[in-house]
Structure 1
Amino acid sequence: MTRIYIASLLFFIFSVVSYIVIEWHQNSNQITNAIDNKISPDFIAESLNSETYNSTGQLSYIIDANRMEHYSELSVTHFEFPKYTLYPKNTDSPWKISANEGTLYNSNRVKLESKVALIATDSKSLIQEIHGKYLELDLNTNIISSEKKIEIKGIDFTMYGTGLIVDLNTKQVTLTKHEKTIFQPIKN
């Protein structure tokens, strides 16, 4: 085989591969654009503030968010910077939970992501703050869970671990995997 024949063959193979890559890229962009055009929110709310009451007429939770987009086709509502104020049963002190992003599903389950913080409004609560990258909240039961890394701040301690279950009604906290605890006694 001559060098010209080998160079021609390599050029042909390069041309075919280039053509396939370009066609594949254009098709994937067309599919993405088609999906983006089909799935658009049914309605959008800016500066959302909503109160939800239970069947007995008691305040269950309040949601504030910078932006809310509802997709009925997907049965999903997406929030930007959601802030929930939760009113558990048998307590006068609400809990506040906030994040950069939140997704509410029809089952009343909320997935909160990016800089999630659960804050107690009761200054005497043993646990004052819980921080993580991801928490799930069940609005029906007031149970919060996560399988990710968690930081728990209390009156005189900070605890680190992975995995969490918090029942706001009973104030029971379960940490799946404890990593370390730092005690900082309160100075009088």
Structure 2
Amino acid sequence: MSISDQLTRPWVRTLALLVSIAVLVSLLWQSDERVPPLEAESLRGPSEPDGFVINGLYRSFDASGQLNTMISSPRIEQFESTQLATMVNPNATLVDKNTGSPWTLTAETGTFHEQKNLVELQGNVIVTRQLGEDRQGTLETEQLTLDNANRTVYTDAPVTMTDGRSTTRATGMTAWIDDRILELKSQVIGLYEPANSKPQ
């Protein structure tokens, strides 16, 4: 009787299947005993996040319960060991507690440092604020740090500010959001365009 004839018998096929299952279970059991349990970070690698949020929204309120900061991002990745969260295309709104008028910040990427309550914005950072019915103030830079606890924004990078009538360039600046104070650090250059005179 040939081997192919023997394999066509039901009891031979069943026996072969049982032997295969026993070998598989034995291999799995031995592999579990030889490999020590690994932490989640070791399995995923140090550069991979612990979790992520799609279309995340972070809100911060002052002591009286009024909204003072809101940050949204299409994707936020969380790293528990360093207490960091990275954001793609973050969009932040800071509310002036005295006037209620918003400052809007956008960037290519952002990093939230949970322990320090800091947000570092990187790449094509743009800050806008309405100055009146017909004017808007804009600040552009490549890096900006938002200190949510002290309500300040600052950078050591070059900045360009426009308000519809003037352009100011400088290297480094600090702004106090609620006090509406701006301090430029160095290499300050200002260009002022006077309003057009009315025709006679």
TM bracket, shorter-chain basis:
0.7 to 0.9
How many angstroms apart in 2 are the aligned matches of 1:99 and 1:89? 23
CA deviation after TM superposition for structure 1 residue 134, in Å: 0.5
Shift of the 48–110 alpha-carbon distance from structure 1 to 2, 3 Å rule, reads same
How many angstroms apart in 1 are the aligned matches of 2:86 and 2:150? 21
Name 1:136's counterpart in structure 2.
145
CA deviation after TM superposition for structure 1 residue 186, in Å: 2.8
Name 2:171's counterpart in structure 1.
162
Identity of aligned residues (%): 21
Name 1:81's counterpart in structure 2.
89
How many angstroms apart in 2 are the aligned matches of 1:154 and 1:171? 15
CA contact (8 A) 2:56 2:74 kept: yes
5+ residue gaps, structure 1: 1-33
Name 1:72's counterpart in structure 2.
80
CA deviation after TM superposition for structure 1 residue 50, in Å: 3.0
Q: 1:58 aligns with which of 66, 70, 90?
A: 66
5+ residue gaps, structure 2: 1-41
Name 1:94's counterpart in structure 2.
102
How many angstroms apart in 2 are the aligned matches of 1:81 and 1:158? 26
Q: TM-score, normalised by structure 1?
A: 0.75
How many angstroms apart in 1 are the aligned matches of 2:191 and 2:43? 49
Secondary structure of the residue aligned to 1:160 is: strand
Aligned residue identity for 2:94: L
Q: Which moved more, 1:79-88 or 1:34-43?
A: 34-43
CA deviation after TM superposition for structure 1 residue 114, in Å: 0.3
CA deviation after TM superposition for structure 1 residue 175, in Å: 0.5
Two-structure CA RMSD over aligned residues (Å): 2.2
User: 4+ residue stretches of structure 1 with deviation over 6 A?
Assistant: 124-127
Q: Deviations over 1:112-150 (max 9, x none)?
A: 110001110342698711100011110112201110100
Shift of the 127–150 alpha-carbon distance from structure 1 to 2, 3 Å rule, reads farther
Aligned residue identity for 1:90: N
Q: TM-score, normalised by structure 2?
A: 0.71
